[in-house]
Amino acid sequence: MTRTMTRIGVLLNGGDSPGTNALIRALVLRGIRDHGDEFVGFAGGWGGLRDAEAIDLDEKAVRGVSRLGGAVLGISSVPSLDDEEVRAVHSAIRLSALDALVVVGGHRTLETAGQLHEKGIRVVGVPKSIENDIGAVDGSLGFATAVEVAAEGIDRLRTTGDAHHRCTVVEVVGERAGWVALHAGIATNAHAVLIPEFPQTIEAVIDSVSRPLRRGRSPLVVVAEGFRLLTESRQDPAGGESIAAKLATQIGTFAGIEARAVVLGGMQRGAAPIAADRVLGSGLGRAAIRMLHEGQWGRGVTTRGSDFVSRALGEIGGQRRSVDREVYAEACRALS
């Protein structure tokens, strides 16, 4: 077999997604065993690459990591690089003697990877997002685990909500797309699912809560973190009250029932990946090493049904998958 490269750099950037460790394991093992490649990982995303903070990735380093949550390489939420940082990355790649780079991340990370490719860096990208909001991907890495963890948490909260006959408002991930909230809400028979794509009035929310109340039920509301009431503008939630807490306060005031807010937050990111994400991550890793050895620079691995296909990084980074109105309306009809 012809060997086209020997030293490959790997970095993770953006939010951590369950299944990325399985991806790294498959990438490293397939590269070493099939092509004799050498791998180094960069701790802390773009910053780790810029500062040449390399970690050797051999078979021993990736042993047993598929079942682990988190990111064995560490990760950074800095999505892009300025011109000075791009020059620093060029220098770091030369210093680390890399033949190619594998970048695992979301929209903006893959857009940045595409820009690096345009500047002459040999890059292959792998998309991941627990929010399932990448338009070129059928089922993003980490999404299945995020939904599973959310559904398990909601089931537990609903049990105690029923016991105390109170309304429970559960906030899940989803800053710009409501897929996790929608799937978790359907799975747990929520009475209302509130998502960023479709703002609602507080009156509509109260109506959704009042209907189960009249039937003697304890209302359950699942809300994505990016949801806003029609009277609110989209603001940076950092340092402010969560949308779940705001809703619980108003529900308690206007519906005349005790309401509790719970934010699941990082529980969905830090969970051990379920089998579906371990399998998906492994498949993405194998596909990425194949693309590297085919010289498919400036492209990324995407899923189409059960197949792994190649698309330009600009196409992957430039598309978002949102819940459309028809899908949302049909899902709402299926709620409790």
Compute how many other C-beta atoms are within 10 angstroms of the C-beta atom of residue 61.
16
Of all helices (H) and strands (E), which one includes residue 260?
Answer: strand 259-263
Residue 286 — pLDDT band, cuts 50, 70, 90?
Answer: very high
- H/E stretch holding 195: none
Distances (CA, A) of 219 to 103, 209, 246: 43, 6, 16
Query: Which tens digits make up the pLDDT trace of 304-335?
Result: 877 888 888 888 876 788 888 998 898 888 77
Residues in contact with 126: Cβ distance below 8 Å, sequence separation at least 6, in sequence order = 23, 102, 103, 104, 105, 141, 284, 285, 288, 300, 301
Q: What is the pLDDT of residue 140?
A: 87
Determine contact, residues 10/39, Cβ cutoff 8 Å.
Answer: yes
If you write DSSP's letter for every residue of 130-157 in order, what string do you get?
TT--BTT-SS-TTHHHHHHHHHHHHHHH
Fold of 7-142+273-317: Rossmann fold (3.40.50)
Tokens 């909260």 found at = 157
pLDDT at 228: 92
* pLDDT, position 36: 92
Instruction: Report the distance separating Cα 15 and Cα 257, nearest Å.
Output: 36
CA pair distance 115, 266, nearest whole angstrom: 30
* Lookup: tokens for 99: 């033949």
Please state the domain extents for the chain.
7-142+273-317, 143-270
As a whole number of angstroms, the distance between CA 276 and CA 298 comes to 27
pLDDT at 79 over 70: no
What's the rounded mean pLDDT across residues 25-54?
87
| pLDDT recorded at residue 1 | 44
pLDDT the model gives residue 237: 45
Domains 7-142+273-317 and 143-270 share a fold: yes
What's the whole-number mean pLDDT along residues 69-83?
70
Residue 25, CB-side half-sphere exposure with 13 Å CA sphere = 19
* DSSP 8-state symbol, 73: T
Average pLDDT, the chain: 85
Q: Looking at domain 143-270, does it have CATH number 3.60.21.10?
A: no
